[in-house]
Amino acid sequence: MQRIQIISNNPLIVFCADDCFVSAESVLPVLLKVRDLVHLGHHLLTHPLAGSLKPNENPYRSVVVTKEALGVDYQSVQLVEGAIAVSRRMLSEKPYRAWSRAVLADLQLVDKALLASALESLGKDISI
Amino acid sequence: MRLELRNITIKDVRFGAQTEVNGDVLYVNKQEMVDALRDERLASIDIDIAKPNEATRIVPVKDVIEPRVKVEGSGGVFPGFVSKVDMVGSGVTHVLKGVAVVTTGKIVGFQEGIIDMSGPGAQYTPFSDTLNVVLVAEPVQGLLQHDHEAALRTMGLKAAAYLGEAGRHAKPTQTEVFDCPPLPQALLQFPGLPKVAYVYMLQSQGLLHDTYVYGIDAKRTLPTFIYPTEVMDGAIVSGNCVSACDKNTTFHHQNSPVIHELLARHGKDYNFIGVVVTNENVTLSDKERSSNFTAKLVEWLGVDAAIISEEGFGNPDADLMMNCVKLEKKGIKTVLVTDEYAGQDGASQSLADADPLADAVVTAGNANEVIVLPPMQKLLGHKETADVIAGGWYGSLAADGSITAEIQVITGATNELGFSKLTSKGV
């Protein structure tokens, strides 16, 4: 089975040794970390723009990439660069609101639910 | 498969002693309806009525459903939910035309889904024209969000079936007949006209982003064929409401304008062969698999062209482009139906993905456009949520109750099935 790593800034996620927690309250640092990995040859396994909450609405994002560098995958590069461009544009137009802690917890929950849906599809343990 | 849709035009909805259709008025026994909707997951249910031109705002809307009842033919409406999973789409179905069930609920802290019954916001939603039976439910303490969403979804479907039942013996005012033959017959019809299929993309990413086909979560399905008339009987049910402008409510599915227009022009401009439903999942392997299967099934239908409608923005743009490119490479022409997030000035790139083969695209509008929604006299739903509109921004709720937000917060504003009021005209 394919080995994976999760790149995320969502504190609700239970991280494994292979995963990478990005300490930031914004999707951009997560996407930039993913981009670095993609350019090093890791392949995207989930779309970097998950969910219908826009990158300037939900600051939490979890992306799954291959654990191993398999050689640069053009589709992964294109998707992550596109996601970064959309996120930058939307954030410059409308930055994050100062959400309450309760709302932030719900935003984390939605990100976690989308990640769980992806992990289930990838045949992974979803007790994240 | 042959379905008769018999419309019963309703011009007013009132509370009354008995739930019934009398003339062109739907009377609702409020207590009986609340009792019919009871669910151990819901602590309370209240029902209200919102009519066109009233100074009423409904927020946050989760789903909108049209009341229908099957009076002849196999199965019942919303198979897999309020009816068994018998095949639907044939026989006779009665529709309470002009009425909509609207569910509201505070499942998560951030909120969306506004229906204004009058004012500038009303011009952006088709549900300002319907007589809305609005359901406001509170969950029992400690109910998890997933269970809360499921409870509200089920409540809405039960409500539409309950009201639809009142139309079982009512006299229809208009009848539409849809006859969709099996594939071998369909292919022989109308030689000389181009053969067209429809690729119906369904949002299926997770909590608040799901769609159900015959009761099964679409993310767990492979693309499949479906008769257009099955959709009219409620075979597709919405469980998604985030970014309310471009999410298909169950009402949209029941009345999909893409399907109705294809059927209306069937035999005149083209030969409408069939529908392929597909999903929009999170993983790239799912996207590849689903678009591969979609392209295979559409090719199997032997069509010349396909219309592809998207649901949502961003992540599903990848599914849209994969479906488009794989069909075009098989020599099947495509027309895409989507909406745009082109920035508040409309000048930015509209989609998160693109391809030169996607050269015929219909837009349903720019969801980033800003609108000021004036205060309303009456708020139905969960009043406190007006301050946490996800598509608004800090301070977008003014002291007078007006809301400044992007039109993405309005239910159905840029619906990607084209069920909206936005249009463009040459001048």
Q: What is the number of CB-based contacts under 8 A between chain A and chain B?
A: 127
**Nearest CA-CA distance, residue B33 and chain A, Å:** 31
Least confident of A116-120, B114-118, B307-311: A116-120
A1 touches chain B (CB under 8 A): no
Which chain A residue has the Cα nearest residue B385?
A: A103
Q: In angstroms, what separates the C-alpha of A116 from chain B's closest C-alpha?
A: 8
CB distance B97 to B251 below 8 Å: no
Specify whether B245 is catalytic.
Answer: no
Report which of B98, B93, B229, B76 is spatially closest to residue B158, judged by C-alpha positions.
Answer: B76
- Quote the DSSP letter at residue B286: H
What rounded mean pLDDT belongs to chain A?
Answer: 92
Q: Pick from B208, B343, B353: which is nearest to A82 by CB?
A: B353
Q: Cα–Cα distance between B202 and A69 in angstroms, integer?
A: 33
Nearest to B400 by CA among B414, B411, B386: B386
The residue-averaged pLDDT of B13-20 equals: 98
Angle at CA B201, nearest 5°, toward A87 and B309?
80
Residues B369-386 have a mean pLDDT of 87
pLDDT score at A65: 97
The reported pLDDT for the residue numbered B394 is 60
Max distance between CA atoms of chain B, in angstroms, equals 64
Given a cut of 90, is residue B109 above it in pLDDT?
Answer: no
CA distances (Å), B295 to each of B321, B324, B397, in order?
A: 12, 9, 46
Q: Note the pLDDT of residue B423.
A: 82
Among B272, B325, B341, B280, which Cα is nearest to B301's?
B272
The whole-chain average pLDDT of chain B stands at: 94
Which residues of chain A does B370 touch, with a Cβ-Cβ cutoff of 8 Å?
none
For residue B333, give the amino acid letter: K
Residues of B in CB contact (< 8 Å) with A are 108-110, 145-146, 203, 205-209, 219, 240, 242-243, 247, 281-287, 312-315, 318, 341, 343-344, 348-349, 352-353, 368, 388, 390-394
Higher pLDDT, B399 or B370: B370
Confidence label for B399 from pLDDT (cuts 50, 70 and 90): confident
Mean pLDDT calculated for residue range B55-76: 97
Domain range summary for chain A, segments of one domain joined by +: 4-121
From the CA of A74, how many Å to the nearest CA of chain B? 13
Task: Report which residue type is found at B346.
Answer: G
Dihedral pair phi/psi, residue B177, rounded to 5°: -115, 130
From residue B272, how far is each of B24, B228, B264, B385 by CA, in Å? Answer: 35, 10, 10, 44
Q: Which residues contact A42 (CB under 8 A, 6 or more apart)?
A: A5, A65, A66, A67, A68, A69, A70, A76
Domain limits of chain B? Answer: 2-409
- Segment B167-196 shows an average pLDDT of 96
Give buried/exposed letters for A97-127 (b at 16+ CB in 10 A, else e).
bebeeebbebbbbbbbbbbbbbbbbbebeee
The parts of chain A modelled with pLDDT lower than 50 are none
Q: How far apart are the C-alpha atoms of A20 and B170, rounded to whole Å?
A: 62
Percent of chain B with pLDDT over 70: 97
Average pLDDT rounded to a whole number, residues B221-238:
98
**pLDDT above 60 for B417:** yes
Which pLDDT value is given to residue B421?
Answer: 83
- CB-CB neighbors (< 8 A) of B314 in chain A: 47, 49, 51-52, 54, 83, 86
Chain position carrying tokens 């401009």? B269
pLDDT digits (tens, 9 = 90+) for A6-20: 999 999 998 888 889
Confidence of residue B349 (pLDDT cuts 50, 70, 90): confident
- Three-state DSSP class for residue A65: strand
Q: Does an H or E element contain B27, and which?
A: strand B25-28
pLDDT of residue B132: 98
